[in-house]
Amino acid sequence: MKRLKTSNMKWIFAFGLVFILFFGCLQHYQQSRVKSADGRRDLEQILDEGVLVAVTDFNSTNYFIYNGEPMGYQFDLLHAFASYLGVKLEIVAENNLDQAFAMLERGEVDIFANNLTITNERGKKYSFANPHGKTRQVLVQQKSSEGGESQGLIRNPIDLADKIVYVQKSSASAHRLKNLSDEIGANITIVEMPNYEADELIELVANGEINYTVCDEDIARVNSFYFDNIDIETPISF
């Protein structure tokens, strides 16, 4: 990837999931307010150079390749934005959220498109635009093989006390589970997986390698078409 130039303002057009009030999730774009540093470009420089560089995650909903063609919700949004600006689009796939933020801070990319939570730390660096969609976090678990489909399934988030739940590191799911643990006054062992996307964790549940994961409902529903032995009907957020 080419070296980007210095600027006073850097643009993030990040499509994010953020906790609002009772941790309901709203999808956003965001624009950074971080100070200038080597490699960062402003909008004028992006237009002059004719290319918009974006980082997003590679999964079944945001960005993927089908029959040799790039597709996905984030891809469509980024492509539409680049077309509006009249520039070419260059996409970097990075499933590690911390690494993607680091790329943004170093000026290696102009835009970060992903599912994010607004934390106090992020709020000091980035401002979020108006929401344009909603989703929530759901628990992914295997369906019971004995008796009725709901037998043995967790239906109340309180019952996650003393359970082990695997989630993508620094994700909306990780933040929600930490807050849930505080809310119920019981320990939930949260294992944050830095190099696993939600799709991969769902597959681990389907294969019986882990018992629980939490992810965005839209991703869970897409994966439920591929794995008919998973249950995604227990909401963890509102």
pLDDT digit string, tens, across residues 87-145: 999 999 998 888 998 998 899 999 888 877 767 777 788 666 566 667 899 999 999 76
| 173 contact partners, CB below 8 Å, separation of at least 6 | 137, 167, 198, 213, 214, 215, 216, 236
Which residue is listed with tokens 């990780």? 174
pLDDT digits (tens, 9 = 90+) for 151-199: 689 999 999 999 999 999 988 899 999 999 999 999 999 999 988 989 9
- The backbone torsions φ and ψ at residue 137, rounded to the nearest 5 degrees and listed phi first, read -90, 135
pLDDT digits (tens, 9 = 90+) for 189-230: 999 998 898 999 999 999 999 999 999 998 999 999 999 999
| CATH number corresponding to 136-235 | 3.40.190.10
Distance in angstroms between the alpha carbons of the first and the last residue of the chain = 40
CATH topology of domain 16-134: D-Maltodextrin-Binding Protein; domain 2 (3.40.190)
Q: CATH 3.40.190.10 in the chain, residues?
A: 16-134, 136-235
The better pLDDT of the pair 47, 15 is held by 47
As a whole number of angstroms, the distance between CA 36 and CA 200 comes to: 36
pLDDT band at 232 (very low <50, low <70, confident <90, very high): very high
Tokens of 112: 């970060």
